[in-house]
Structure 1
Amino acid sequence: MAKLQSGNGVQWKDSRSQRGTVESLAEHESSSLGSASELNGFANTEIQTDRYGFIGGAQQSTGENADIPPDVLRQREAKWLDMLNSWDKWMAKKHKKVKFRCQKGIPPSLRGRAWLYLSGGKVKKEQNQGKFQELDSQPGDPKWLDVIEKDLHRQFPFHEMFVARGGHGQQDLFRVLKAYTLHRPEEGYCQAQAPIAAVLLMHMPAEDAFWGLVQICEKYLPGYYSAGLEAIQLDGEILFALLKRVSPVAHRHLKKYKIDPILYMTEWFMCAFSRTLPWASVLRMWDMFFCEGVKIIFRVGLVLLKCMLGSQEKLKACQGQYETMELLRSIEPRYMQEAFLVQEVIELAVSERDIEKEHLSQLRRWKETHGELHCKSPPRMHGAKAIMAAEPPSRQDLKQNPTIIVEVPQTTESKTEKGKKMTKTEKINETKSTSPPPNPYPLPSNPPLPSDKLSPSESQHLQEDTPLQGSNQSLSSAEHDTYL
């Protein structure tokens, strides 16, 4: 059984149980580039970067998943652009279609923008113009700055954005985390926020990542990062109760050996599986998480527990608490593989109603055994539709603003020629020379996509949606350029 510190962390009676928990977020240095000399030596060698920007480590892509054909990817990009241009109408009238497209996977070139719209971060940013810049310019609380600085190099040390100490990735991560401690000084900083912010920064600029972090902490996972970790403990009990229905065998086993949920699910939930799953699976889970809310996190946890502990045959090798914990720390890759996991998560019948019903039940039990909650967090929002309904945005809030505006200066020669009278032939030639070249890859206004009209019997093809990689014909061919 775990007992809590007064700060944002977990203290354990058994030192062996520290691995795989929020406290161990700071203990992964064995797999990181720990010193400047190691980093320099690494940088001077020839490195292989995968499509997601990883140059090594357990989350580097092996390239086993097939790419989506460029024409299909471009159709999806066009459909997402259409949705983003009329976001309020799509969310109000065609939310099921939005959810379905999130389940299929958001195109990489638009993932960051889509996450910001789904989470409500776009609206928050527009309604608080200049807020991030104001927070960014402030010095911050020294007690949090020191802890944040120590955590910077531990976040995805094998990703090209964060591999260099003091590089632009770590600088932006520091800015975002510092800004949040100023935005919510009563909450401060929790180590599990760092990987959340880092994933956001891989897909969007620092200001957008800040508002994405705000929405996750306040709407999707309220109370998770507060002192005492009461919210995560409650959700651990909810997960355990739901497991009894999903996999009675796994539930009995964990109960038999008195394995508290907080021992195995803390890092899963607080980091939204960003440190656990292969990267292709992380992105697909986050696509659904931003759309449907915390039930996706619960479903992933339930699927993994069911797969690892769901039969007597599998339990033969882990007759004991230590053996079971070791098993849950090294989940079989086949169960975390993108196509398998996505399909299992979609098909698992656990709704937000089930979660809220169990939440009320566990809250009553908590009050009987622990008294009132010390942390009064706002109610949890179950996904994009609930967030938009709670805080209806204006059309101006949802307007897409270009990130890069290019102004082409007029040359002296062209100004001189404008003053001259041109013949009819010259005018025709002038029109031809100044007209923009036709787009060799025009986006269809309403491109047909047969896969959007899948019947229930064809839903199995969802699992064939693999991590999306851009092409020469896509809007943006690089995963990390999604905000351009």
Structure 2
Amino acid sequence: MSVYLKVLVSRAQKWSQLLGDGKSVKRTTTVKRYVRKGIPSEHRPSVWMAISEADKMKKQCPDLYLKILDQPFEKELVDLIKTDLPRTFPDNIYFTKEANHQAHLFNILIAYAHSNRVVGYCQGLNYIAGLLLLATKNEETSFWLLKVLVEKILPDYYTKTMDGLIVDIEVLSELVKSKAPDVHQHVINLGLPWAVITTKWFVCLFAEVLPIETVLRIWDCLFYEGSKILFRVCITLIKANRSAILECTDFTTLAECFKSIVKNASALHCHEFMQSIFKVPGTLSNATIIKLRSRFVTQRLEHQKKEPR
């Protein structure tokens, strides 16, 4: 932490100069470089809103959040969300029954569920909205950031069929096959589906998986560069722990290994970890991901056509 504090001080000074005199954040190579090195916590709410273009969404319907909260709620949605509230970061002091964060989190989730009837409420959104709330300390900002994540950055992850999520797990499997073929083959040989390993990684965007400061640094890049950041993190975790994975001899030990790799020291040192996600996986373009997604979407559609009705 003493080493990281020096990094935080240095980055805070750089961002203060960049944002001085009320300058707006624009998508430039300089800003991208700054984002990759970490956004200071005091600037995260405004910078996330700008780089994700959630602020543009808000300008189109500036009163949406308060209008939804002023309307009656569907009982089914209320019951679903209230069931998950106590499960959200139960060890975090801000999410105890005595703290107000559970009430704020309920407002964000119920408002989102009513704003997007296709998604409604999906498990996993509570962790994302909860961490957004911790980072922004503002309900409405968290609502709009959740909206841009679910509808623009990760489309079809949180629908009832979760087609986008299923396809991206297939994409990850193919990327591991090309970048770490021995690991890919070993996982297949031991019969552990990639969905078992990585569904929580994708659904929660690493919240409740990696240390919070590391997750926030990942989200800095996610809001700017989109979903390819998730693949970079996954591949880095897998390649950095290649030896441990290959030493596993059965399904059970392999599953335990994947649980442990997200808790080891490398992920705790978030600055070094974030530097590694842009080096370890090598080249990874949006074009490659789009091409792979297209292939697996086509395969799924062909498979569905062949299924008996």
Report the TM-score, using the length of structure 1 for normalisation: 0.59
1:118 aligns with 2:56: no
Contact 1:234 1:362 in 2 (8 A): yes
Give, as a single letter, the amino acid of the residue that structure 1 aligns with 2:265.
R
State how far apart, in whole Å, the 2-side matches of 1:195 and 1:357 are: 30
> Match for residue 199 of structure 1?
131
1:368 aligns with 2:306: no
Give, as a single letter, the amino acid of the residue that structure 1 aligns with 2:297.
L
Deviation per CA, 1:185-211: give whole Å up to 9, x if none.
Answer: 232100111111111111221111111
3-state SS of paired residue (2:5): coil
State how far apart, in whole Å, the 2-side matches of 1:234 and 1:291 are: 22
Deviation per CA, 1:157-183: give whole Å up to 9, x if none.
Answer: 2223212x1632111100010001110
Q: Which has the larger radius of gyration?
A: 1
Q: After TM superposition, give the deviation of residue 116 of structure 1 in Å.
A: 1.2
Backbone CA RMSD of aligned residues? 2.0
State how far apart, in whole Å, the 2-side matches of 1:193 and 1:333 are: 25
Deviation per CA, 1:13-43: give whole Å up to 9, x if none.
Answer: xxxxxxxxxxxxxxxxxxxxxxxxxxxxxxx
**Closer, same or farther in 2 for the Cα pair 1:272/1:314, shift >3 Å?**
closer
**Closer, same or farther in 2 for the Cα pair 1:297/1:74, shift >3 Å?**
closer
**Closer, same or farther in 2 for the Cα pair 1:302/1:190, shift >3 Å?**
same
Deviation per CA, 1:383-442: give whole Å up to 9, x if none.
Answer: xxxxxxxxxxxxxxxxxxxxxxxxxxxxxxxxxxxxxxxxxxxxxxxxxxxxxxxxxxxx
1:266 aligns with 2:266: no
1:77 aligns with 2:8: no
3-state SS of paired residue (2:210): coil
3-state SS of paired residue (2:277): helix
Give, as a single letter, the amino acid of the residue that structure 1 aligns with 2:278.
I
1:216 aligns with 2:154: no
1:162 aligns with 2:67: no
Contact 2:245 2:257 in 1 (8 A): no
Equivalent of residue 86 in structure 1, options 24, 27, 31: 24
**Closer, same or farther in 2 for the Cα pair 1:219/1:314, shift >3 Å?**
closer
State how far apart, in whole Å, the 2-side matches of 1:295 and 1:69 are: 25
- Greater share of helix: 2
Question: Whose RCO is larger (CA < 8 A, sep 6+)?
Answer: 1
Contact 2:4 2:271 in 1 (8 A): no
Deviation per CA, 1:237-288: give whole Å up to 9, x if none.
Answer: 0000000111111111112123222111111011110111112211111111
State how far apart, in whole Å, the 2-side matches of 1:187 and 1:106 are: 30
Q: After TM superposition, give the deviation of residue 300 of structure 1 in Å.
A: 0.5
Report the TM-score, using the length of structure 2 for normalisation: 0.91
Contact 2:11 2:39 in 1 (8 A): no
Contact 1:84 1:114 in 2 (8 A): no
State how far apart, in whole Å, the 2-side matches of 1:314 and 1:143 are: 42
Q: After TM superposition, give the deviation of residue 358 of structure 1 in Å.
A: 0.9
State how far apart, in whole Å, the 2-side matches of 1:157 and 1:325 are: 24
State how far apart, in whole Å, the 1-side matches of 2:133 and 2:54 are: 14
> Match for residue 237 of structure 2?
304
> Match for residue 249 of structure 1?
182
State how far apart, in whole Å, the 1-side matches of 2:8 and 2:191 are: 51
Q: After TM superposition, give the deviation of residue 356 of structure 1 in Å.
A: 0.7
- Of 346-355 and 293-302, deviating more is 346-355
Contact 1:304 1:335 in 2 (8 A): no
Deviation per CA, 1:420-465: give whole Å up to 9, x if none.
Answer: xxxxxxxxxxxxxxxxxxxxxxxxxxxxxxxxxxxxxxxxxxxxxx
Contact 2:221 2:229 in 1 (8 A): yes
> Match for residue 260 of structure 2?
330
Give, as a single letter, the amino acid of the residue that structure 2 aligns with 1:188.
G
Contact 1:222 1:231 in 2 (8 A): yes
Q: After TM superposition, give the deviation of residue 299 of structure 1 in Å.
A: 0.7
Contact 1:99 1:291 in 2 (8 A): yes
Aligned pairs (5 A) from 1:339-354:
339-347=271-279, 348=281, 349-354=283-288
Give, as a single letter, the amino acid of the residue that structure 2 aligns with 1:360.
S
Give, as a single letter, the amino acid of the residue that structure 1 aligns with 2:299.
R
Contact 1:125 1:208 in 2 (8 A): no
**Closer, same or farther in 2 for the Cα pair 1:256/1:77, shift >3 Å?**
same
3-state SS of paired residue (1:330): helix
Question: Structure 1: which 5+ runs fail to align?
Answer: 1-62, 373-484
Aligned pairs (5 A) from 1:460-479:
none
Name segments (4+ residues, structure 1) moved above 4 Å. none
Q: After TM superposition, give the deviation of residue 77 of structure 1 in Å.
A: 3.1
What is the percent sequence identity of the aligned residues? 30
> Match for residue 107 of structure 1?
40
> Match for residue 28 of structure 1?
none
